[in-house]
Amino acid sequence: MEASLRSAGYIPDSRICTSLFLSELLGKPLLVEGPPGSGKTELAKSVAQSTGMKLHRIQCHEGMDYSSAFYEWNYQKQLLFLRTSEANDMDYRRVFSEEFLIKRPILESISGGQRSVLLIDEIDRSDEEFEGMILEFLGEFQVSIPELGTIRASQRPVVIVTSNRTRELSDALRRRCIYLFLDYPDAEREVEIVMSRAAGISPSLARAAVEVTRKVRRLEGMVKKPGISETIDLALSMVYLGLGNPEVLASTIAKNPEDYRLVVESNVLGAADGREAVR
């Protein structure tokens, strides 16, 4: 599992590998919770890349409905078909066949005969009602369509559900999943991630960037703590600009005026040590 993820550029730890292994072994979705920027979405993308499976993604938001995640009928095509044919009882039944069905990511993930990866991203941004809609799928890997019956997965997809913990998820959803809490990586693993994603950066500069980011995460009053991608951006910016302009570098890890002011005033960038930028 570790070798497979590393081949896609993802640097896992033993907990990540074990959780993925158990999810595969037990045939259950993997629920990954953690702060923004800790690598949850990237994990699903790396699983797809390392296995060659197609990635289906649902980006959750408030007001998510069934048609945006499962399926909807192509009403225009249905009406056109009925208008251009001498409609009889057989034709009326035909318009509710798969020929007129628009498949959305969940239904696509269990169709086609090929195994795939389904990412249900940031489910905590959706409403509780949407959680209820997906319980049948998470538990049985099937979708019930009144006009067609129950469509079951010919090949069970790899399902990864992510949450930033902006709200508490239901017990019913949690029971159907293997659970993984994915926090920011420790210093050594984050250095390895930076060096794998920012080619040409020296170990000393990668460590300097990681040290700065970890200090920023600990600043009292930070609204949005920088994630791993911000650490990579900071390291690359230190290569391009050097360390002579902390105010500019702060824009790579602070994403709102309050955090920017806090980072600049803390002088964590001014104290960074990483002059040897490139091998």
275 lies in some domain: no
**Where in the sequence is the domain holding 119, given as residue range(s)?**
2-181
The rounded distance, in Å, linking the Cα atoms of 45 and 29 is 15
Residues 177 and 191 in one domain: no
**What are the tens digits of pLDDT across the range 41-79?**
999 999 999 999 999 999 999 999 999 999 999 999 888
Asked if residue 276 belongs to a domain, the reply is no
Short-list 257, 185, 268, CA closest to 228: 185
**Within a domain: residue 7?**
yes
Residues 113 and 232 in one domain: no
* Choice between 43 and 269, residue whose per-residue pLDDT is larger: 43
Do residues 50 and 144 share a domain? Answer: yes
pLDDT at 254: 92
pLDDT at residue 86 in the model: 65
- Inside any domain, residue 33: yes
- What is the pLDDT averaged over residues 89-117? 87
- Are 79 and 211 contained in the same domain? no
**Residues 43 and 78 both lie in one domain:** yes
Please name which of 174, 132, 243, 58 lies closest in space to residue 252, comparing C-alpha atoms: 243
Is the C-alpha dihedral spanning 143, 122, 48, 183 positive or negative? negative
pTM: 0.89
Claim to verify: residue 29 and residue 152 sit in the same structural domain:
yes
- Tell whether 94 is covered by a domain: yes
Domain assignment present for 279:
no
- Same domain? For 111 and 51 the reply is yes
Q: Are residues 71 and 122 in the same domain?
A: yes
Dihedral, 54, 165, 174, 147 alpha carbons, nearest 10? -50
Using pLDDT thresholds of 50, 70 and 90, give the confidence band for residue 240.
Answer: confident
- Lowest mean pLDDT of 154-158, 208-212, 248-252, name the range: 248-252
206 lies in the same domain as 161: no
Domain count, the chain: 2
In a domain, 54, yes or no: yes
Same domain, 127 and 258: no
Write down the residue that tokens 């570098």 correspond to.
Answer: 249
Is 237 in the same domain as 104? Answer: no
The stretch 86-111 carries a mean pLDDT of 83
Instruction: Please report, for the domain that includes residue 166, its CATH number.
Output: 3.40.50.300
**pLDDT value at 88 more than 80:** no
Examine residue 277 and state whether it is found in any structural domain, yes or no: no
Domain boundary, last residue among 135, 161, 181: 181
Looking at the structure, do residues 120 and 251 belong to the same domain, yes or no? no
**What is the model's pLDDT at position 60?**
96
pLDDT at 27 over 60: yes
pLDDT value for 198: 84
Question: Which of these three, 181, 216, 248, is where a domain ends?
Answer: 181
For residues 237 and 274, the answer to whether their CB atoms sit within 8 Å is no
- Model confidence at 244, pLDDT cuts 50, 70, 90, reads low
Domain boundary among 160, 181, 202: 181
Query: C-alpha distances in angstroms, 147 versus 52, 88, 102, 158, 189?
Result: 33, 18, 14, 27, 51
Residue 16 clears pLDDT 80, i.e. is over it: yes
Residue 93: pLDDT band (50, 70, 90) is confident
Per-residue pLDDT, 87? 58
pLDDT over threshold 90, residue 200: no
Mean pLDDT of the chain: 90
State pLDDT tens for residues 208-234: 999 999 999 999 999 999 999 999 999
